[in-house]
Amino acid sequence: MDKCVVVVTEWEQGELTLASLECVEEGREVADRLGAQVQVILCGNEITPLAATLAAHGADRITLVEHDALAQFSADGWLQALAPVLLQAHPVLLLAPDSGPIRAWLPRLAVRWRLPLVGCCTRIGIVGDGYPEVIRHTYGGACQERLIWPYATLVCAMLTPGGRGVGTPRHGRIAEVTVVRPKLDPTGFRDRTLRTLPADPRTVPLHEAERIVSGGFGTGGSDGMALVKQLAEQIGAALGGTRVAADRGWLAVERFIGSTGQIVAPKLYMAFGVSGAGQHLSGITGSETVIAVNNDRTAPILKRADLGVVGDLHQILPILLRKLQALTAARDADHGKPNAPTDSSVTHRTLEMTP
């Protein structure tokens, strides 16, 4: 039987999650080094249209596990449906996103089959004669842990979302697709999804946020950070920041971003008074569009930014807030709908702002 790396993927609202695609790409890299195949498993109902995307990101074989009862997530359902498929796949490594749903069923399988399982992983390496080496940060990021199990037949690793970002798909790449229709007993599921609530940007875990507004040491303190927070609320974004801002107590410690904090991959990342140290930038590699405001035109964040504004955040933020408030008021007066952002492909520009 061919050596194989199994990647368990997930969807949300009919789309594959970015974390899943990151896992497929990580699985592809590991499999290439092992001379193995990548088998991707996806559970749900009417999920066949997602197979082409999985192939484009590196799957060799795709197993779609379909059943009416899998249209909504259930940890019991996923476990019942996936255990036989995984048993048959016989992988050397099982990769999955480190997400709430995966955490609800994979540890139970690992305990049942006595498998090593590691969460919060950043990368998978290969050592010796082809042992998967699981890498993750520990002690608040001060240390890197490298774990191998020379005697384990299968290692399970959950990758932190946003850690590597998603590469360019190779459209037209071919994979072998198998649809499995398991016999399930939904009456035996002890948990089921009743409804999915829209995420509140103020409380959503940062790695799931679509928009993030961040403040750094340049905000100058709680008052500056309050302006940043106001902007986040105004545009429905989550509040983030740098480690320095969190160390100073201007930001909750679980909201600082970077190699030792949260790894994020929003569609929009706005940074105010953030210099762009390597440890911070490595936490935002998966961000689609980065906008940075900094009064130092040589700040590294401006090189990473798609739109860089050189100026004082204490002058720019109040103007921005006033303009947004005026827009909202005009929109409310018109009873119109919010204007959707029209241009997501902002090119690299640096603007000078003079007082």
What is the contact surface with ligand FAD in residues (CB under 6 A)?
141-142, 216-218, 242-245, 256-261, 273-275, 277, 279-280, 283, 293-296, 299, 312-314
Complex with ligand FAD: residue 65 or 281, whichever CB lies closer: 281
Complex with ligand FAD: residue 260 or 289, whichever CB lies closer: 260
For residues 174 and 274, give the distance between their C-alpha atoms in angstroms, rounded to a whole number: 43
Closest to 20 measured CA to CA, from 52, 67, 54, 65: 54
Nearest 5°: phi and psi at 33?
A: -75, -25
Closest to 11 measured CA to CA, from 67, 55, 59, 49: 49
Residue 322 CB, nearest approach to ligand FAD (Å): 18
Q: Which residue has 């679980």 as its token pair?
A: 254
Complex with ligand FAD: residue 27 or 276, whichever CB lies closer: 276
Residue 22 CB, nearest approach to ligand FAD (Å): 19
Residue 228 CB, nearest approach to ligand FAD (Å): 11
For residues 270 and 241, give the distance between their C-alpha atoms in angstroms, rounded to a whole number: 10
Residue 253 CB, nearest approach to ligand FAD (Å): 11
Complex with ligand FAD: residue 155 or 313, whichever CB lies closer: 313
| Contacting residues for 259 by C-beta, under 8 A, at least 6 apart | 137, 141, 278, 279, 282, 283
Complex with ligand FAD: residue 85 or 271, whichever CB lies closer: 271
Residue 251 CB, nearest approach to ligand FAD (Å): 10
Residue 293 CB, nearest approach to ligand FAD (Å): 6
Complex with ligand FAD: residue 174 or 252, whichever CB lies closer: 252
Q: Which residue has 């590699």 as its token pair?
A: 285
Closest to 23 measured CA to CA, from 12, 39, 36, 34: 39
Complex with ligand FAD: residue 138 or 153, whichever CB lies closer: 138
Helix (H, G, I), strand (E, B) or coil at 13: coil
Residue 247 CB, nearest approach to ligand FAD (Å): 8
Complex with ligand FAD: residue 77 or 311, whichever CB lies closer: 311
Residue 256 CB, nearest approach to ligand FAD (Å): 6
239 neighbors 266 (Cβ within 8 angstroms): no
Q: E-assigned strands of 115-164?
A: 117-127, 131-138, 143-147, 155-159
For residues 315 and 323, give the distance between their C-alpha atoms in angstroms, rounded to a whole number: 13
Beta bridge partners of 269: 212, 290
- And the tokens for 312? 């004082």
Helix (H, G, I), strand (E, B) or coil at 252: coil
